Structure 1
Amino acid sequence: MKLEKLVGERFKERPADCVIDSHAIMVKGGYIKYMANGIYSSYLPLRRIVRKIEQILREEMDKIDGQEVQFPVVMPASLWDESGRYDSIGDELLRFTDRNNAKMVLGMTHEEAAVHLVREYAQSYTKYPFMIYQIQTKFRDEARPRAGLIRVREFTMKDAYSFHTSQEDLEQYYEKCHAAYERIFERVGVPEVVSVKSDSGMMGGNISHEFMLLTPVGEDSIVLCDSCDYRANMEAAENISDIARDAESAALEKVYTPNVHTIEDVCNFFGDETKNSCKAVVYQQNVDDKYVVLFIRGDLEVNETKLVNFLGEQVHAAVITEECGLNAGYIGPVNLKVNGDAVVLYDKSLEGRNNLSCGANEAEHHYKGLDMERDVPNAEYHDFAKIQEGGICPKCGKKTVKISRGIEVGNIFQLGTKYTKSMNMTYVDANGESKTPIMGCYGIGVGRLAASVCEAHHDEYGPIWPKAIAPWQVHLCAVRVDDEEVRAYADKLYEDLQNAGIEVIYDDRSVRAGVMFADADLLGIPLRIIVSPKNMKQGVVEVASRDKTLKTQIPLENVMEEIKQYL
């Protein structure tokens, strides 16, 4: 490929609207072009990278007995009605009606399509286990697309679905797929990706893991332990409280607290720490606007994913009206009254605690001396809190928790029977009994993975692509092509490299060396060969690696042999 023919512009300046480096590099380097919010066109360099990632994905899925299939992008809504997700998923699912007035959806995930494909085939236990996978375009109507290819609306994904006759068989295959994912990330050049326990969310199932590239620009919070191998997404990490109960409980006392509303104001008023208070966080369920009043220790935040999973309903911040009976700023668990039906919940951080401050459900009044066992004896406690930096590790019990940021580059789920049961997929077992198969699901976003590799491996000049996925292996630069000797040698070397099966992009433009090398940096090819009048006079070519670990000169007669060795 000659660079002068490469479609797409490369720019000197960083685009102003790119907030993270990989986004800026891909726009600046001629990899992608913005079309609409969360939707991009891609140029040849990215297409070559993506093809190589897809080939690695195919090889690793084939190694664990995967069979490649392809599902439609557009699906009838009736399939999603069968699973119950047509109504349960929010605006992320793009719904439309076709010219025949049939309800349709754009696929954001393909569990329903996978069950539809195999439920007639797999009616006997002898057909199991098996796994099918695809690499397909998907559309998820993200509310806030960001960071280039890291979070988009239209994307390409490898998603795989396995089917089993027992939980034990699923767990064995789940481990095989987990190991395959580790190989994938190592092969594409990001072996530092870590596996973390995660929340299954709308996918369903009980066990799931996310594969995270730890980076400060990540939008997910990852909980790590310095003392053991515990790793979890913030949404799935259990918060453990170890604040002991005071030896003696004070009497519950109502106190006049004028102009005191926030939990910080209350604690300042009483001269105490926020960890010794009980605060109320109020939500409403999306489905029916029912109030949800959650009491939690004053210094903690609510993990809304835990709350939604407990309720089985999405929630939003409450609008507290005079009619509801709640007194904003003064809500407490003693003598709480809510007009109409409401859900009242208690976080585990309050269990057994005493001598707390809290609202008194009366304007400008708070209680001090709250004893949860004495004053709220019927409370049931569940984990609704976000774990904190320096908190207690759920695995080893030490106070060594730290919070990092990460980009999710893959996920795996043990789905169980969520989809097969709702869609009436059954098989006949060895005893002639009808059973429901168990599913696993395994996904990797291809474009996001490419962008994540760029995020992990770049410098101030551009990307440093790992050889396995680099768009080309060699970047041949002919400096001063008006020199006949340079032109003749570079042209011949270009031909020899191609004949040897080496992927090469050849820059023979009549441009300044600075422009040529700046473009080479933006393309990030692992190995650069420089042919120039100065080098030709010395009987050598200059060879340098993009990661700057190699810079040498090779005699002209040894170039092909040594380039092959370097590669």
Structure 2
Amino acid sequence: MRLSRYFLPTLKETPSEAQIVSHRLMLRAGLIRQEAAGIYAWLPIGLRVLKKIEQIVREEQQRAGAVEILMPTIQLADLWRESGRYDDYGEEMLRITDRHKRELLYGPTAEEVVTDIFRAYVKSYRDLPLNLFNIQWKFRDERRPRFGVMRGREFLMKDAYTFDVDEANARKAYNRMFVAYLNTFARMGLKAVPMRADTGPIGGELSHEFIILADTGESQVFCHRALVEMAAPGPDVDWDDLQAIVDERTGLYAATEEMHEPARFEAETAESDRLSARGIEVGHIFYFGTKYSKPMNAVVAGPDGKEAPVHMGSHGVGVSRLLGAIIEASHDEAGIIWPESVAPFGVAIVNLRPGDEACDAACEQAYAALSKAGLDPLLDDRDIRPGGKFADMDLIGIPWQLVIGPKGLASGELELKRRATGEKVTGSLEALLNRLSA
């Protein structure tokens, strides 16, 4: 991509409404624009990152055996009446009436819709287990939307729904999602701490939320240090033998300040093993048995021919929220520091003198080579001062900056900067391109 032909509306000043780091940097770096309270337009750079996060989530769901569908954003109120949640959900639900006076709503979640889909097609235990997932926009009418995409009203969410013949199999499905989440967040360069959580309006008795640590996080987190230091299970984990992995992590202390358990934290954990930090919730998984299948008559015939409600779970990841959470965990005074797996571009090529024949030719050579290597370069060919280019590249957080100018070309010593560490190396264009490609 050539920046002279791109849309990158960066800001020098921080908008007054932005209270936290991620909101400030997303506005300044031109990732989003607020259209209404808690509702944002996604601009090109922000959309590129959002799509990369979404793809990692998708791949790990599919690796865990989930099948993707796409459910509507607008749902029938009658489905929610069947489950008993329509009147219980509260003012966060945006209720709508169409021209035929039918009562609808903008979905805050999709348990009712997916249960309706399931009961229409699945009738036998032979068709189980089943895991359907959906990456779709949701809407919750927050009383006080704030903190940008961290607590907006419209948000992109991955929600998966598992269907099993009994509780034992449903808990195996729960464990598969538990491990898939650890791998998902690890691929984004994040350390995720799982902890028991309240089930809230979703319901059920078993639930874990996944917290990533960030100095500017919304919650105080208390946990065993080993939970943060443990590596993710990885892609080759045996999906049929997950209990040991789940037991290992849930057997160690973890709680948030809202759980009011600091005394237990001090009683159970040796002082050298204690970690207290700030954290941000980015995922939540639930097992709720027959809470929805029973009132909505989602039943299957078992081996004995008798019908029984299926056991269900739901598993959410805040896809758009993750973008803000990554920034909260990875930034400095100059701007965003993207992990390479989700960065909008892999390498920024900074042309210090557009119009100079040698500089232009070297930049074109670099652009072609890096594109061929799959490194997704951004060529800053704008006719502005070098200081403005460096400031923008630091602000938007591209992992590598290849700086090409007349002096460097003449001496054979061009500069390559790593955004995360500030480390700089020099060398010929060929040497630096080889380093990046390797």
CA deviation after TM superposition for structure 1 residue 197, in Å: 0.7
In the alignment, residue 252 of structure 2 is paired with which amino acid? D
Q: What residue number does 1:517 align with?
A: 390
2:154 is the counterpart of 1:154: yes
Q: How does 1:463-474 map to 2 (within 5 A)?
A: 463-474=336-347
2:192 is the counterpart of 1:193: yes
Q: Given the superposition, is the C-alpha separation of residues 204 and 394 from structure 1 closer, same or farther in structure 2, using an over 3 Å criterion?
A: farther
Among 443, 448, 452, the residue aligned to 2:325: 452
**In structure 2, what is the Cα distance between the partners aligned to 1:562 and 1:401?**
40
CA deviation after TM superposition for structure 1 residue 513, in Å: 0.9
**In structure 2, what is the Cα distance between the partners aligned to 1:449 and 1:395?**
33
Q: Given the superposition, is the C-alpha separation of residues 470 and 218 from structure 1 closer, same or farther in structure 2, using an over 3 Å criterion?
A: same
Aligned to 1:534, the other structure's residue is in SS state helix
Q: How does 1:361-400 map to 2 (within 5 A)?
A: 386-387=260-261, 389=262, 391-393=263-265, 396=268
Aligned to 1:449, the other structure's residue is in SS state helix
In the alignment, residue 215 of structure 1 is paired with which amino acid? A
Aligned to 1:529, the other structure's residue is in SS state strand
2:225 is the counterpart of 1:202: no
Q: What residue number does 1:133 align with?
A: 133
Q: How does 1:32-431 map to 2 (within 5 A)?
A: 32-190=32-190, 192-224=191-223, 229-235=252-258, 237=259, 386-387=260-261, 389=262, 391-393=263-265, 396=268, 404-431=277-304
CA deviation after TM superposition for structure 1 residue 173, in Å: 1.6
1:52-83 residue CA offsets vs partner (Å, 9 max, x unmatched): 11111111111111100011100110000001
Q: What residue number does 2:21 align with?
A: 21
Q: Given the superposition, is the C-alpha separation of residues 458 and 65 from structure 1 closer, same or farther in structure 2, using an over 3 Å criterion?
A: same
In the alignment, residue 391 of structure 2 is paired with which amino acid? A
Contact 1:197–1:233 (CA under 8 A) maintained in structure 2? no
Q: Given the superposition, is the C-alpha separation of residues 214 and 426 from structure 1 closer, same or farther in structure 2, using an over 3 Å criterion?
A: same
**In structure 1, what is the Cα distance between the partners aligned to 2:339 and 2:131?**
30
Contact 2:199–2:206 (CA under 8 A) maintained in structure 1? yes
**In structure 2, what is the Cα distance between the partners aligned to 1:62 and 1:68?**
8
Aligned to 1:146, the other structure's residue is in SS state coil
2:375 is the counterpart of 1:502: yes
1:237-289 residue CA offsets vs partner (Å, 9 max, x unmatched): 4xxxxxxxxxxxxxxxxxxxxxxxxxxxxxxxxxxxxxxxxxxxxxxxxxxxx
Contact 1:392–1:398 (CA under 8 A) maintained in structure 2? no
Contact 1:472–1:504 (CA under 8 A) maintained in structure 2? yes
**In structure 2, what is the Cα distance between the partners aligned to 1:537 and 1:224?**
55
In the alignment, residue 63 of structure 2 is paired with which amino acid? K
In the alignment, residue 64 of structure 1 is paired with which amino acid? A
**In structure 2, what is the Cα distance between the partners aligned to 1:84 and 1:66?**
27
In the alignment, residue 430 of structure 1 is paired with which amino acid? P
Contact 1:50–1:447 (CA under 8 A) maintained in structure 2? yes
CA deviation after TM superposition for structure 1 residue 403, in Å: 6.2
Q: What residue number does 1:563 align with?
A: 436
Aligned to 2:149, the other structure's residue is in SS state coil
Output the TM-score relative to the length of structure 1: 0.70
Contact 2:222–2:265 (CA under 8 A) maintained in structure 1? no
Among 315, 321, 324, the residue aligned to 1:442: 315
**In structure 1, what is the Cα distance between the partners aligned to 2:341 and 2:216?**
24
Aligned to 1:172, the other structure's residue is in SS state helix
Q: Given the superposition, is the C-alpha separation of residues 561 and 223 from structure 1 closer, same or farther in structure 2, using an over 3 Å criterion?
A: closer
CA deviation after TM superposition for structure 1 residue 495, in Å: 2.5
Q: Given the superposition, is the C-alpha separation of residues 120 and 482 from structure 1 closer, same or farther in structure 2, using an over 3 Å criterion?
A: closer
Aligned to 1:557, the other structure's residue is in SS state helix
**In structure 2, what is the Cα distance between the partners aligned to 1:216 and 1:31?**
22
Contact 1:199–1:233 (CA under 8 A) maintained in structure 2? no
CA deviation after TM superposition for structure 1 residue 34, in Å: 0.7
Output the TM-score relative to the length of structure 2: 0.90
Contact 1:198–1:233 (CA under 8 A) maintained in structure 2? no
Contact 2:157–2:317 (CA under 8 A) maintained in structure 1? yes
Identity percentage of aligned residues? 38
2:35 is the counterpart of 1:12: no
Aligned to 2:366, the other structure's residue is in SS state helix
**In structure 2, what is the Cα distance between the partners aligned to 1:444 and 1:404?**
22
Contact 2:253–2:269 (CA under 8 A) maintained in structure 1? no
Aligned to 1:85, the other structure's residue is in SS state coil
**In structure 2, what is the Cα distance between the partners aligned to 1:444 and 1:468?**
17
Contact 2:426–2:432 (CA under 8 A) maintained in structure 1? no
Aligned to 1:205, the other structure's residue is in SS state coil
Q: Given the superposition, is the C-alpha separation of residues 392 and 548 from structure 1 closer, same or farther in structure 2, using an over 3 Å criterion?
A: closer
Greater Cα shift, 39-48 or 7-16: 7-16
Aligned to 1:71, the other structure's residue is in SS state coil
Aligned to 2:86, the other structure's residue is in SS state helix
Greater Cα shift, 409-418 or 552-561: 552-561
Aligned to 1:160, the other structure's residue is in SS state strand
**In structure 2, what is the Cα distance between the partners aligned to 1:483 and 1:495?**
18
Unaligned runs of 5+ in 1: 238-385
**In structure 2, what is the Cα distance between the partners aligned to 1:113 and 1:401?**
43
Q: What residue number does 1:267 align with?
A: none
Aligned to 2:141, the other structure's residue is in SS state coil
In the alignment, residue 268 of structure 2 is paired with which amino acid? C
Unaligned runs of 5+ in 2: 227-250
Greater Cα shift, 548-557 or 472-481: 548-557
Considering only aligned residues, what root-mean-square deviation do their CA atoms show, in Å? Answer: 2.0
Aligned to 2:120, the other structure's residue is in SS state coil
CA deviation after TM superposition for structure 1 residue 492, in Å: 2.5
Greater Cα shift, 550-559 or 104-113: 550-559
In the alignment, residue 167 of structure 1 is paired with which amino acid? E
1:173-198 residue CA offsets vs partner (Å, 9 max, x unmatched): 211111110000000111x2211110
Q: What residue number does 1:483 align with?
A: 356
2:426 is the counterpart of 1:553: yes
**In structure 2, what is the Cα distance between the partners aligned to 1:43 and 1:539?**
38
